[in-house]
Amino acid sequence: MVESFRIRPAVQADGGFLGDMVVEAANWRGGGARPRHEVISSAEHSRYLTGWMRPGDTGFVAEDLRGEPIGAAWYRMLPRSEPGFGWVGTGVPELIIGVRPIWRAHGVGRALLQRLCESARAQGFARLSLSVERDNFAVTLYRSEGFAVTQSGLGRDTMVKRLR
């Protein structure tokens, strides 16, 4: 199969695009989507973006062959005092992933997720966590990549992958 996208490490200048991907992740259902400014200004989502590329932040961006960004996956360490949706403990990075709708089901999310897990393992992390709404089609991807539900919440689950 000929690859129609490539993956590169995320840089500080990608912060705006990561904001777009938080919006995609929050509005995965489509339909009555929340506006961008509402999503990224909310405390529950801004914690994944504020001060992007602080120490400990790692991410990757998928680009089409023209160099246009089409998806991203990244993780950050969130403090116990400001946990994310998928926070499971100190020292466990929480990942966020978003892919433009037209590129979903083309292997972009899987490639980003695999690259992010490889990077986390190489950096010495034992686990990665995430949060996903139970009816999100991405649950199948996460399960197939070794993530398992560790905590159930109201309509959403926290999933963890052991890296070593």
- CATH number of the domain to which 132 belongs: 3.40.630.30
Q: Is the pLDDT higher at 55 or at 3?
A: 55
16-44 per-position pLDDT tens digit: 999 999 988 887 776 667 877 888 888 78
- Is the pLDDT at 121 greater than 90, yes or no? yes
Across 7-11, 59-63, 120-124, 151-155, least confident range: 151-155
Give me the domain span that covers residue 33: 5-162
CB 58 within 8 A of CB 74: yes
Give the distance from CA 95 to its chain's centroid: 4
For residues 90 and 71, give the distance between their C-alpha atoms in angstroms, rounded to a whole number: 27
| pLDDT(130) > 90 | yes
Domain tally, the chain = 1
Bridge partners of residue 64, in order along the sequence = 5
For residue 120, give the amino acid letter: A
Residue 105: both structure tokens together: 């089901």
* Alpha helices in the chain, H assignment, sequence order: 15-26, 36-41, 43-46, 108-122, 138-144
pLDDT value at residue 2: 55
pLDDT at 35: 78
